[in-house]
Chains A and B, each alone.
Chain A
Amino acid sequence: KNEVEQSPQNLTAQEGEFITINCSYSVGISALHWLQQHPGGGIVSLFMLSSGKKKHGRLIATINIQEKHSSLHITASHPRDSAVYICAVRGINTDKLIFGTGTRLQVFP
């Protein structure tokens, strides 16, 4: 079993829909990252959080430390949101990130 699990693996949506991507982890963490990887391959850091909730534009990330679970929400989805979304955790007293396998999102007009 992977230390970081994401669901769903693949997700399709119509433009304007509300999107939720889930991430569960089995290790103690000091921080959780949400990353976006576009078809060209580049990786962009969306959020880093260790508690509560963060919002940036149409993106919202939440984390529940007790339940070892995080969600990434996209409101009013748009075709340009089509990408792979990756959850990554940093363990306690370590610097390296452990990655989920990603969720491939396609938003159709």
Chain B
Amino acid sequence: NAGVMQNPRHLVRRRGQEARLRCSPMKGHSHVYWYRQLPEEGLKFMVYLQKENIIDESGMPKERFSAEFPKEGPSILRIQQVVRGDSAAYFCASSPLRAPSDNEQFFGPGTRLTVL
């Protein structure tokens, strides 16, 4: 039973380009969470999605960032027109059920985005 998969593991982009980060949840999990870890900072919540629905996007920057979790395929975190401040590790987690049940989140290995 594979864990949460993220790809690419490392992504380098130049300022102004687009970054697409993919997350495949664990088998049987229909809830996906995206978190960002800026250099030397703690993890911060970005967005929570169920299949085809955004449940909570209160942590997403207002511009350039979007997320989706289609019926088929992985969840995608998309950053348009990247800037140097977007350089960070982006982690995805998945869970089988929705809170507040006894609901553990399982983390992927992260995608390290570097903006030149």
Do A41 and B112 have beta carbons less than 8 Å apart? yes
A101-B41 contact given A41-B89, A44-B107, CB 8 Å threshold: yes
1/0 contact trace for A92-109 toward B, CB 8 Å? 111111111110000000
Interface residues in A41-55 (C-beta closer than 8 Å to B)? 41-45, 48, 50
B14 interfacial contact with A, CB 8 Å: no
B69 interfacial contact with A, CB 8 Å: no
For B59, what are the chain A residues with a Cβ–Cβ distance below 8 Å?
96
A96-B104 contact given A41-B110, A41-B112, A90-B99, CB 8 Å threshold: no
Do B42 and A102 have beta carbons less than 8 Å apart? yes
Interface residues in B18-56 (C-beta closer than 8 Å to A)? 31, 33, 35, 41-45, 48, 55-56
Do B33 and A95 have beta carbons less than 8 Å apart? yes
List residues of chain B with CB under 8 Å of any chain A CB.
31, 33, 35, 41-45, 48, 55-56, 58-59, 89, 91, 98-100, 102-107, 109-110, 112
Task: Give me 24 A-to-B residue pairs in the complex whose CB atoms sit less than 8 angstroms apart, sorted by A's number.
Answer: A33-B104, A33-B105, A41-B110, A42-B107, A43-B110, A45-B105, A45-B106, A45-B107, A48-B102, A86-B42, A94-B56, A95-B31, A95-B55, A95-B98, A95-B99, A96-B58, A96-B59, A97-B33, A97-B35, A97-B45, A99-B42, A100-B42, A101-B41, A102-B42
